[in-house]
Amino acid sequence: TLFFLSLKSFPKIILKKMGFFEMVTFFDLGEKLSKLMKIPNLITTRLLIQKLSLNFNIKVLVKSFISSFLFNFFMLVLFNVFLEQIILLLKFPLNNELIYSCRILSISVFIIFLNNVLGQQILIPLNKFKGYYNSLTYCSLLALIIMSILYIKKLITPTYLAFNLLALDLLVMLYLAVHIFKNFKVLNINNQKSS
């Protein structure tokens, strides 16, 4: 988890190291704006964990997931519709790098919400800690390789770095989804054999 979270702070470090201080500001603003969208996710995650920690209840999870999914999607659309007005209100220039990185990072927040549901509300209550932590480790290593290639090829921009973070979150989501699918498949086969 520490490696995963550290990797998410690398883009600003790389931009500073290469002397792109204005781009650091753009990337940082994109992160701050997208973090506002994380607030509902954090509230939802905490409430769901409290409900599911004592007894894993798939009906509660599905019901909460649908309402949270719709709310997060609405927030994503609203954020992207009013993004330029928000940037102008904060008195920043309408720079393409800033706009693109904000849009990409906002999509990443939506994917993080799905990852929270798959990892923290399905795998962890089912005691599948290994699958959850493996997803963070393997996907972080792959994202680090991609980031290193971008650095070597001198393709470092806020947009590419934001896209790399989005790719990292998408990879985690795919790994978690496959792991859950395999576990439920094995669980169903075992239930059929016992009956």
> What does the pLDDT read at residue 15?
73
Give residue-wise pLDDT tens across range 167-190: 888 999 999 988 888 877 655 555
Closest CA to 99 of 82, 75, 116: 82
> What does the pLDDT read at residue 24?
76
> What does the pLDDT read at residue 49?
55
Angle between helices 58-81 and 38-53 (to 10 degrees): 180
CA distance 78 to 94: 18
- Give the residue-averaged pLDDT of 83-97: 84
Cβ-based neighbours of 35, under 8 Å, separated by 6 or more: 109
> What does the pLDDT read at residue 58?
67
Calculate the CA dihedral of residues 20, 21, 26, 30 and round it to 10 degrees: 100
Mean pLDDT of the chain: 77
- The most confident of the ranges 51-55, 91-95, 181-185 is 91-95
